[in-house]
Amino acid sequence: KRAAAATVGDLMSTDAPTVRADDTLEALATVMHDQQVSHVPVLDAAGKVIGIVARGDLVRHLAKTT
């Protein structure tokens, strides 16, 4: 498709790695490293997306707390 006619659905991944809100930051870092992604959707207990965490969010948090 031409760029102007393309949709987000044409580009999105349907099998993106995710984390749960109660996962540890270590688990998040592992997912990001192993899956080579810089953003990870966060799911609630029902599997609904409730947010997204970026690698920069993780790095800033670690820089403040270490």
What pLDDT, on the 0 to 100 scale, is given for residue 45?
Answer: 95
- Tell which residue, 60, 27, 61, 7, has the closest CA to residue 40: 27
Angle formed at CA 9 by CA 32 and CA 7, multiple of 5 degrees: 125
For 37-54, how does the pLDDT look when each residue is reduced to its tens digit (9 = 90+)? 999 999 999 999 999 999
User: Which of the four pLDDT bands, split at 50, 70 and 90, describes residue 1?
Assistant: low
